[in-house]
Amino acid sequence: MMDRFWDFLLGKKAGKKEYHELVKTVRRSDAGKKQAREQLKSMMESDDPEVLNQIAEARIRLYSQAAYEGDEQAQYRVGLSQAKLGNKEVSLEWLTGLAKKGDVKAMKAIARGYAQNGIYGYSREEYRHWTQKAAEAGDAQAQADLGLFYAAKNEKLSRYWYQKSAKQNWPAGCVGLGKAYYNEALLSFGKQEDGRREALMQKAEQYFLLAANGAAKNRDFAAACHELGVFYETTAPGEETAKRAAYFYYQAWSGGKQNEDREAFERIRDKYGLKVHTEDPEKWEHEIFG
């Protein structure tokens, strides 16, 4: 059955059985069934537009009636599926209606649609508008996104939103706030007393560590570890801080597979002749932090 199912999805063979099998898989996946979710994830990872379109069409078939009857979860799913099919106006109609009723998921979906490479076309103002709506509603992810949006042009607003996000222990918010304190400390040299600079550096370290410890996704963990690598490499050069920098660069590479992190780890390891235990992270961590 699976071979026929895949043939159908790839446009090689169409039939009622295959289509109904797809609809059933989508329904089970959305209901939280692990096997169906993994099956659907595998299909979507193919990046074949026909496969993605078939899945979107299946969701529209599944949820349209409930959406018209006022079911908000169904309206959200139909809105996303219409976007994936390129039906921008229909998608926006569903999602905007939900967003106006206070649905944060819909607000964030609209914002993503207006981001670079978004389905609705790039618009900084629309992106900011809907991200801010979600941030004002208390969403930690949106607050971190808004902090990043303002980072290059309004430091005060950027820090305000990063602080909001960090209070909820959102990793990206903690990283953003840590970078804000770190940059302030760097700019303060020659302008402020050492005690003030030290306090800023301690805050930066605190928030980078919070981000790493609270990360549930590899990319969040990698981003926090990268900043910790930079922090320990640049703040107080020496073997002890180099050990920490190497450790966190390696952890960043393990989580994100970015070559710059692997290269930084190897550079510091070789420069100081460090003994590392990449095969036993717990032993390595214990040797560094006790």
217-270 tens-digit pLDDT = 999 999 999 999 999 999 877 899 999 999 999 999 999 999 999 999 999 999
What's the whole-number average pLDDT of the chain? Answer: 91
Helix axes 239-256, 259-272, angle to 10 degrees: 150
| pLDDT value at residue 9 | 44
Residue 13 pLDDT grade (very low, low, confident, very high; cuts 50, 70, 90): very low
Q: Could you tell me the two tokens for 248?
A: 């966190």
Poorest-confidence range of 1-10, 30-39, 53-62?
1-10
Do residues 1 and 19 lie in contact, with contact meaning Cβ atoms separated by under 8 Å? no
| pLDDT value at residue 235 | 86
Q: What angle do CA 25, 31, 33 make, to 5 degrees?
A: 65
Neighbour tally for 198: CB within 10 Å:
11
Residue 72 pLDDT exceeds 50: yes
Q: Could you tell me the two tokens for 1?
A: 């059955």
Q: What is the mean pLDDT of residues 32-42?
A: 92
| pLDDT value at residue 189 | 67
Residue 2 pLDDT exceeds 60: no
Do residues 232 and 244 lie in contact, with contact meaning Cβ atoms separated by under 8 Å? yes
Query: From CA 239, how far away is CA 274, in angstroms rounded?
Result: 8
Highest averaged pLDDT of the listed ranges 2-11, 12-21, 53-62: 53-62
Q: What is the mean pLDDT of residues 203-220?
A: 96
Query: From CA 52, how far away is CA 41, in angstroms rounded?
Result: 11
Residue 17 pLDDT exceeds 80: no
Query: From CA 246, how far away is CA 228, in angstroms rounded?
Result: 10
Do residues 136 and 104 lie in contact, with contact meaning Cβ atoms separated by under 8 Å? no
| pLDDT value at residue 27 | 93
